[in-house]
């Protein structure tokens, strides 16, 4: 496996020649063997700056105010989640981060919302505390979701499917955007501390526009590699559901977030988890099942796979896998 995370250009795939298009597809396929790829994009930098500024304003509020925007029973799919709650499935120690989660609602009568209410909760955003934030975060969500759908067309071609393979799968899906604040770490000089333990995302792919500081690392082979994209690029990583659909050809991007030695500042990032529709059956596509790579995964619904991970990462309020009450920093 090539251990390098490659840099590709989404716009070259969409606007370039057949040769340029093929080069992007090949580069994405090779890079995602690490679980990660960097891509140029056409997102508005002003929109990203505005979103970060409003999110920083929210996270700077006192704990009592932020707690008003917790959404009970939403399993972390909207609203505020405090520090030391979400816990990587690989760990029994909660992550040192706080989060704000949001998506875009679909009509109340839609069958997906009626059948999967916890995946389509009523949105809880801190409009009362930060006026105007709902409109900005909604625009941000739509922009990243569109970019992810476009990028999935590259992946589809790379695994031998038609470019439109994922289009219907992600239409009206419960795609989730999450803003994360990692508080400053006060540790001994020269030490490294884990903000978020190693894990793989549950979804198809995840997009990460620029963060405000270092810390993201991806596991390549036995080594942790710093994920440092060129300026103006988005990081894309693979999730558990894409691994199942590709029969392991595109493995999960295992990653963690650590405070580097000597880094005592807080860190902000905004990520978006691109999900398939909950009734999607995650089954390996024929093009990824060969004599050398026979089918590894039995079919499972996206909703069931999602529910299992939400429990494992400690977001089911009345069934916490890990008791987080007593843990302090």
Task: Give pLDDT tens digits for 266-308.
Answer: 999 999 999 999 999 999 999 999 999 999 999 999 999 999 9
Structure tokens at 299: 């079919």
Which pLDDT does position 317 carry in this prediction?
85
Query: In this structure, are residues 221 and 254 in contact, taking their beta carbons and an 8 Å threshold?
Result: no
Select the more confidently predicted residue: 26 or 324: 26
As a whole number of angstroms, the distance between CA 7 and CA 29 comes to: 12
Cα dihedral 148, 154, 155, 156, rounded to 10, equals: 110
As a whole number of angstroms, the distance between CA 210 and CA 267 comes to: 11
Which pLDDT does position 321 carry in this prediction?
84
**Taking 50 as the threshold, does the pLDDT of residue 38 lie above it?**
yes
Specify the DSSP class assigned to residue 266. -
Query: In this structure, are residues 309 and 240 in contact, taking their beta carbons and an 8 Å threshold?
Result: yes
**Taking 90 as the threshold, does the pLDDT of residue 318 lie above it?**
no
As a whole number of angstroms, the distance between CA 137 and CA 135 comes to: 6
As assigned by CATH, the class of the 7-312 domain is mainly beta
Which pLDDT does position 257 carry in this prediction?
96
As a whole number of angstroms, the distance between CA 50 and CA 133 comes to: 9
Shortest CA distance to 68 belongs to which of 152, 114, 125?
Answer: 125
Residue with tokens 């799919």: 77
Which pLDDT does position 221 carry in this prediction?
85
Select the more confidently predicted residue: 325 or 168: 168
Question: Is residue 323 very low, low, confident or very high in pLDDT (cuts 50, 70, 90)?
Answer: confident
Give the largest CA-CA distance in the chain.
58
Question: Is residue 186 very low, low, confident or very high in pLDDT (cuts 50, 70, 90)?
Answer: low
Question: Is residue 131 very low, low, confident or very high in pLDDT (cuts 50, 70, 90)?
Answer: very high
Distances (CA, A) of 311 to 88, 120, 249: 10, 17, 26
Q: Which residues pair with 236 in a beta bridge?
A: 37, 207
**Taking 80 as the threshold, does the pLDDT of residue 326 lie above it?**
no
Which pLDDT does position 95 carry in this prediction?
92
Which pLDDT does position 187 carry in this prediction?
57
Distances (CA, A) of 121 to 49, 77, 141, 145: 27, 7, 16, 18
Average pLDDT, the chain: 92
Specify the DSSP class assigned to residue 96. S
Q: Which helix (H) or strand (E) holds 137?
A: helix 133-158
Select the more confidently predicted residue: 321 or 158: 158
Structure tokens at 297: 């995964």
Q: What is the mean pLDDT of residues 76-92?
A: 92
Here the contacts of 299-302 (C-beta below 8 Å, separation 24 or greater) are 300/244, 302/241, 302/275, 302/276, 302/277, 302/278
196-237, pLDDT tens digit by residue? 999 999 999 999 998 999 999 999 888 998 998 998 899 999
Rama region for 242: left / alpha / beta (φ>0; ψ in -120 to 50; rest): alpha
Which pLDDT does position 261 carry in this prediction?
80
Query: In this structure, are residues 140 and 270 in contact, taking their beta carbons and an 8 Å threshold?
Result: yes
């Amino acid at each position: 496996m090539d251990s390098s995370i490659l840099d590709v250009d989404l716009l070259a795939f969409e606007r370039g020649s057949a040769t340029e298009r093929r080069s992007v597809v090949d580069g994405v396929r090779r890079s995602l063997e690490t679980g990660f790829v960097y891509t140029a994009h056409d997102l508005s930098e002003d929109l990203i700056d505005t979103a970060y500024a409003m999110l920083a304003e929210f996270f700077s509020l006192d704990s009592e105010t932020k707690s008003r925007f917790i959404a009970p029973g939403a399993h972390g799919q909207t609203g505020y989640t405090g520090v030391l709650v979400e816990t990587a499935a690989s760990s029994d120690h909660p992550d040192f981060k706080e989060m704000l989660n949001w998506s875009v609602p679909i009509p109340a009568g839609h069958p997906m919302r009626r059948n999967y209410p916890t995946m389509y909760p009523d949105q809880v955003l801190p409009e009362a505390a930060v006026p105007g934030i709902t409109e900005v975060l909604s625009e941000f969500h739509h922009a990243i979701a569109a970019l992810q759908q476009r990028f999935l067309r590259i992946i589809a071609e790379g695994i031998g499917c038609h470019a439109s393979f994922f289009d219907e799968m992600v239409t009206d899906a419960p795609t989730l955007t999450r803003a994360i604040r990692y508080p400053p770490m006060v540790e001994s000089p020269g030490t490294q501390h884990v903000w978020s333990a190693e894990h793989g995302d549950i979804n198809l792919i995840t997009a990460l526009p620029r963060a405000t500081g270092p810390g993201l690392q991806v596991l390549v082979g036995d080594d942790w590699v710093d994920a440092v994209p060129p300026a103006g690029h988005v990081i894309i990583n693979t999730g558990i559901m894409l691994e199942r659909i590709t029969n392991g050809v595109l493995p999960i991007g295992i990653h963690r977030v650590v405070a580097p030695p000597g880094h005592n500042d807080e860190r902000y990032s905004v990520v978006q988890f691109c999900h398939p529709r909950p009734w999607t059956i995650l089954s390996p596509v024929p093009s990824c099942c060969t004599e050398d790579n026979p089918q590894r995964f039995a079919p499972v619904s996206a909703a069931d796979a999602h529910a299992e991970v939400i429990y494992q990462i400690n977001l089911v309020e009345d069934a916490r896998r890990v008791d987080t009450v007593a843990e302090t920093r």
